[in-house]
Structure formats: structure tokens, C-alpha cells
Amino acid sequence: MLDWLTTPLSGATTHVIETAVAWHARLMVLAWGVLLPLGALAARFFKVLPGQDWPRVLDAKPWWHAHRLLQWSGVALMTLALALVLARHGAPGQAPTAVAHVWLGWLLAAAAWLQVAAGHARGSKGGPTEAGLPGDHYDMTPRRVRFERLHKGLGWAALAGAMACIGLGLLAADAPRWMPLGLALWWALLGTAFVRLQRAGRCIDTYQAIWGPDPAHPGNRCPPVGWGVRRPLG
């Protein structure tokens, strides 16, 4: 069994890979396979913490700090991983799987950098937590709505694309069989957690998590942005 697991996907007897490519793969799997999905789960399901006395206690920050740390770390590692193989981009004679991996990888990198840029352009917060000042988020201005639609839609689409890109990379590198199996088990665990948390009603609207369900808040008079987002009250 151990011999089968350590054998490359093609069935070859040896597995040889350049050092730069090996570290590119490790960093990309850590970024796109671990850090970025965990950051997305933190943002979707932990805006109201288990045991938090919501709506009496509002605006818990752990999800925000976790999301920002995990996503920024993931994008930084992704950028470093790209730098390691940048000189090999577009090299002639690549197999179709490698070519597809390269082009999909660049699309995902562009999406990740766009997410960072969009995060800095999301507008002001405003509301009671900022001395009652008007703000894009508190007032749910068109700018804020556009940001949320882009950020959520592009983020989840990029994670789905990353699974395909990692799979193509494993094929191109003729990786040992234990690698795709291990990743498949990890992603199955993440998928199970997603389904369980979604069914448990943990995907709570960011607006209500921060400001509560009072209809006096202007954002509560707008529909929540995104699929499966729940407003427990109001």
C-alpha cells in the first residue's frame, strides 16, 4: 500500500522535480488549499460567535481579524510561489495539463490581487460604531453593494477554480498518489464543515452581525447580499 501511495500518478518508478517547482507547489497548496479556504469559512460562518449573546452583544471582531490575516497571508504566499517559477512561464514544449495549469493559475492570481484591491476600495463603515457618521456600509450604498457582490462571488469562484488548478498542477508534476488523495480528504472535510455550518444557520448577514436587526438601521431595509445569507431577526 505504501508503495502504491508513493508511486507517481503516471505509474512511473521515479519522481523528479526541480526545487523551485517543488516549493512553488507547496506554497500554492498552503495558500489556495488551506489558508484562503479557512479565511473564507471564517468570514461566512463566524460573524456571530457560538455562545455570543447576539443581538445584545454586537460586532464581534474575531472573524474579521482571522479573515484578513488568512487572506493576506494566502495572497502573499501565492505571490512568492509565482515568483519562484516566473522565469518558466510560457516555456515551450509543455504538456496540455501544464499549459492549462499556467493560464488558470494566472487568472486566479489576478483574481486574488483584485480581491485585495477591492478590499481597500470597499468604502467607509459609518454607523453607530463610528459616532453615527454616514458610511458606505452602514447606508448600504451602491458602492458597498457592488463590492460585496464582487468580493463574495469572485472569492468563492476563485476557490473552486483553485481546486482545478491544483489538480492540473499535480498531473503536470506527476505527483505521488498520496498528494491528491490527501488533498481530496482535506477538501471533503472543508466541504462537510461548510454544509454543516450552512444548515445550522451560521451564515448570518454581516450587517445584522455588526448593527443588529433594528429596522431603524438603513441596511436592514435592503436585502442581504449573497446566496444563503440569513437574517435571524427582522
The confidence band for 130, taking pLDDT boundaries of 50, 70 and 90, is: confident
Per-residue pLDDT averaged across 124-141, rounded?
90
**Within 10 A of 234 (CB to CB), how many other CB atoms are there?**
14
Three-state DSSP class for residue 119: helix
The CA distance from 68 to 71, in Å, is 5
- Kindly report the average pLDDT of the chain as a whole number: 93
Inform me whether the pLDDT recorded for 126 exceeds 60: yes
Q: Left if phi > 0, otherwise alpha if psi is -120 to 50, otherwise beta: which for 127?
A: left
Question: For 68-89, how does the pLDDT look when each residue is reduced to its tens digit (9 = 90+)?
Answer: 999 999 999 999 999 999 876 5
Query: How is residue 176 written as a grid cell?
Result: 505521488
Inform me whether the pLDDT recorded for 95 exceeds 60: yes
pLDDT of residue 36: 98
Grid-cell match 444563503, residue found: 228
Question: For 14-37, how does the pLDDT look when each residue is reduced to its tens digit (9 = 90+)?
Answer: 878 888 999 999 999 999 999 999
pTM: 0.93
pLDDT of residue 143: 97
DSSP state of 8: B
The confidence band for 91, taking pLDDT boundaries of 50, 70 and 90, is: low
Task: Report whether the peptide linkage leading into residue 55 is cis, meaning its omega lies within 30 degrees of zero.
Answer: yes
The CA distance from 218 to 126, in Å, is 12
pLDDT of residue 88: 63
Per-residue pLDDT averaged across 171-185, rounded?
95
Q: Which CATH architecture has domain 2-221?
A: Up-down Bundle (1.20)
**Within 10 A of 169 (CB to CB), how many other CB atoms are there?**
23
Position 2, amino acid? L
pLDDT of residue 17: 87
pLDDT of residue 81: 97
Grid-cell match 506527476, residue found: 174
Q: Which residues, including other chains, have CB under 8 Å from residue 28's CB and lie 6 or more apart? A: 77, 78, 81, 105, 166, 169
The confidence band for 111, taking pLDDT boundaries of 50, 70 and 90, is: very high
Domain layout of the chain by residue ranges: 2-221
Integer angstrom CA distances of residue 122 from 62, 136, 157? 20, 8, 19
